[in-house]
Amino acid sequence: MTDLFRISRAAFDRLLAEARANPNIECCGLLAGREGIISAVLPAKNALQSAMAYEIAPEELFALFRRMRAEALEHLGIYHSHPKGENSPSPLDLERAFYPDAAYLIISADLNASNTVRAFRIVAGRARELPLEIV
């Protein structure tokens, strides 16, 4: 994957809507698309129902990967929101980043946040912010 993370306007807007739909828990899901551009937001249920952490149940995660395969989509990222606080990776986010080739998008549910969606590459517990381009 390149260092530039590209997302369609529709997918970007969908992420914001997902984060704001239930501001009391972290929303989460997978991001998919073609030719390196995110065009599909695949929401999942936060099995933890927590404002501080998220987890996608294994059976739901497998179903989302099957859907991507059936629709010939590439897995390009994972997203979740931070209902409270800054949208940078938490220590738990760093510890549970199991897909080093995926981008991790963190959405702020705060309408006044200066940077509502941020993208990161997380490898071996270290995060590096990626430039985000809306196409």
Task: Please state the pTM of the whole predicted model.
Answer: 0.93
- For residue 107, what is the domain's CATH number? 3.40.140.10
* CA–CA separation, 117 and 12 (whole Å): 8
- At 35 the pLDDT is 94
**For the segment 71-92, what is each residue's pLDDT rounded down to a tens digit?**
999 999 999 999 987 899 999 9
- At 53 the pLDDT is 94
Check pLDDT > 50 for residue 1.
Answer: no
Number of domains forming the structure of the chain: 1
Residues 6+ apart with CB under 8 A from 9: 134, 135
CA atoms within 13 A on the CB side of 70: 6
Q: Which domain holds residue 72?
A: 5-134
Q: When comparing pLDDT for 1 and 39, which is higher?
A: 39
* CA–CA separation, 57 and 48 (whole Å): 9
Mean pLDDT in the chain? 93
Q: Are strands 37-44 and 28-34 parallel, antiparallel or unpaired?
A: antiparallel
**For the segment 18-53, what is each residue's pLDDT rounded down to a tens digit?**
999 988 999 999 999 999 999 999 999 999 999 999
Segment 104-124 shows an average pLDDT of: 88
* CA–CA separation, 89 and 59 (whole Å): 25
- At 29 the pLDDT is 98
CA atoms within 13 A on the CB side of 121: 12
Assigned token pair, 38: 């995110």
DSSP characters over 21-71: HSTTS--EEEEEEETTEEEEEEEE--TT--SS-----HHHHHHHHHHHHHT
pLDDT confidence tier of residue 4, bands split at 50, 70 and 90: confident
Residues 6+ apart with CB under 8 A from 111: 20
